[in-house]
Structure 1
């Protein structure tokens, strides 16, 4: 084992001392694999196998370092310790030996152990050779069948590592593809999220679809869906070149608590039914959050309308309905145009440039109206009760302001009076 690997795995880099671990104890999984690949991590995600008393060891470490403690599985004796810049999972060894435990894992590259006490690598399944060859190779068909999420994980990890899937493994995945329907929707959604998050994931989610893994999840996804998916990445890059600010917004999360980007929302919209109501039901079945469902359905509803929003009035109401979903909406509109008429020069952008400019200008009153008067002001000044009429008057005042017909509170009141009189 090279000195570089030893340095990357060195206990001095851990959030706790090596003396906290019993002998023997083994680090396994992604941290070992990434160290062998020469990858460093800002955030440590560590996994340890302990022959006995794994939860007791984890609890003692959490207590010593005043870190968070989570019991993940009482039956299988798995616990997590949460540090400010790291998590460490401690699992009881499965079977009578370390090798038995490693033989129960998903892929050879994830079945390599590191003994920090002796600084040695244990690799009974040839994972190191597969890392050098850039291959995702299954340990056994049974292991994939026992946890069918591993079928999809092969594509996700191939995407993240820049690997390919070994032929026999891919054939096995195709044969077991229908088993993915046995997995809880929440777990599937996490893997899909990783694949949608970057351009590297796009060809792999397409491959997963071709191999039958997406059919039980996205029942309406077809060849055209995957063509659109690839176009999203292409168009997003071109948008970022023309409007860097829009490129940044596409990488923003829908919400701080929802780790899906607006680029991811546009891609997700390609995989579901194109009718918003049907798409809503589909996404709810997959347990997507209310914010994600609303984002996808709003983008699907509005993107066909963008091209025809010519008047200030039409644009005002479109921006009001789209809100922050505009970024995904404009991306879908451009993708749709690009597939109908392949992008040449800046032709498709010319159609949508005025809308994009409005959206990116915080002072534009069409995309970002400011309120001249409040509903309460209107009710007092015009002596009218609270009713839907008040909301309608506020809308008409905002449109008139956007059109440049009024600009002061007094003019807004006069405008409202004229509407009531008519």
Structure 2
């Protein structure tokens, strides 16, 4: 495995930029995993995670490196002798070699494209015992072995995620193993499953990967799309959440990075499923609200969304904007392009008081100006003012005060009298 691939990989890795010199590492250290794979594919980020294998005590080495070069040493797995050095924005994972040789260590890994190593000693060639270089060339994801997948069942889902992330085809034999053993995934800690799903949802072809995960049975214990009458609708929505929808809706790269993963996850998982996956409460709420409004607005064909929205009472329209103020682009991804772009334009305007509802007056000023005590009446008045401002019938604080006084005077329940504070 000598020659051009090795030289090209060194050039792309730019070891002179690493946060510590190569001379600080043991002579038998080897770079493995994602950095090697992504370097060969020319898709390295500015500070890639570096996974290193050493023959000695990786935890002791990590602590020694932290003392000499700075950074923090974190023990990841004491039993397997794995630690992480976090230094100047970089992350270096060090692990003790498993087996009698580097080849033996690589033979225990999940997929062949992750089972390529670059020894860091000068002049060393790539080590590729399972044909990962050829599979990279073929853009094919191949499991090292069935037993290796079962050694950590999360690897079943990781295969689907890697295929979507890299744009690779999943090897038929590997896919068959995933289908055969999909029931093993619930053995994995829910937090680890969720982390893989979030990476999958963020991949450019994540919509296809998630659909494949459903088809292989991997998501059965959690996904609303795995069974039931809503399954076909959820999967149909998921199919629309590809990169082309980002372009059609007019989202920027930053907006898409936030909206697309949420839109995809919410297509498959309700709040209860995300709770079983031990997600944050915030993610459960965001996905739950998004699913609820999708069901409310998108029951018919996508082209009918505009008519459904037009029929909403003003209070419900305001509630939509309040609940999805931060996540509106995730809702727009499945809408017709013209409507999505129009709404996105208004959402980007921070002064649009329908898309970014803000009270025209705070409660204290209303109490002082109108002689109101804290009460349900005050809360109702503030809600009505919010609605009037959102739909352009009140502009500015003084107009809001005039409207508030008029509303209080005209309330039949008040008998024409404004309630006073004690």
Partner of 2:53: 49
- Deviation at 1:247? 4.1
Aligned residue in 2 for 1:297: 288
Do structure 1's residue 328 and structure 2's residue 330 form an aligned pair?
A: yes
5+ residue gaps, structure 2, are 298-304, 412-422
Q: Which residue of 2 aligns with 1:338?
A: none
Separation in structure 2 between the aligned mates of residue 144 and residue 267 of structure 1, nearest angstrom: 26
| 1:102 corresponds to 2:106 | yes
Pair 1:114-2:111 in alignment = no
2:185 counterpart of 1:157: no
After TM superposition, list the pairs within 5 Å mapping 1:59-74 onto structure 2. 59-74=63-78
What's the CA shift string for 1:25-54, capped at 9, x where partnerless? 222111222233344431121111111121
Match of 1:391 in 2: 379
Listed one character per residue, the Cα deviations across residues 95-154 of structure 1 (whole Å, up to 9, x for unaligned) are: 222222222111122112222114222222222222222222212211111101111111
Are residues 1:265 and 2:274 paired? no
Check 1:262–1:77 CA distance in 2 against 1; reply closer, same or farther (3 A cut): same
- The alpha carbon displacement at 1:357 in A equals 4.7
CA distance in 1, matches of 2:80, 2:266: 38
Alignment of 1:52-201 (within 5 A): 52-117=56-121, 118-201=123-206
The farther-off stretch of 179-188 and 158-167 is 158-167
Q: Unaligned 5+ residue runs, structure 1?
A: 241-245, 253-260, 273-278, 335-342
Partner SS for 2:233: helix
Partner of 2:317 in structure 1?
315
1:217 positional shift: 2.8
After the TM superposition, which of the residue ranges 358-367 and 51-60 deviates more from structure 2?
358-367
What pairs with 1:211-290 in structure 2 (closer than 5 Å)?
A: 211-221=216-226, 222-233=231-242, 234-240=244-250, 246-247=251-252, 250-251=255-256, 261-272=258-269, 279-290=270-281
Tell me the SS of whatever aligns to 2:103: helix
TM superposition score normalised by structure 1: 0.84
Name 1:256's counterpart in structure 2.
Answer: none
The residue number in structure 1 matching 2:354 is 366
Q: Distance in 2 between matches of 1:192 and 1:235?
A: 20
Equivalence for 2:38: 34
| DSSP 3-state at the match of 2:126 | strand
Q: Which moved more, 1:213-222 or 1:89-98?
A: 213-222
1:37 and 1:199 map into 2 onto residues whose CA distance is 16
SS of residue matched to 2:327: helix
Q: Is the 8 A contact 2:309 2:317 kept in 1?
A: no
Contact 1:401 1:407 in 2 (8 A): yes
**Corresponding residue number in structure 1 for 2:416:** none
Q: Matched residues in 1 for 2:27 and 2:141: separation?
A: 31
Q: Counterpart in 1 of 2:388?
A: 400
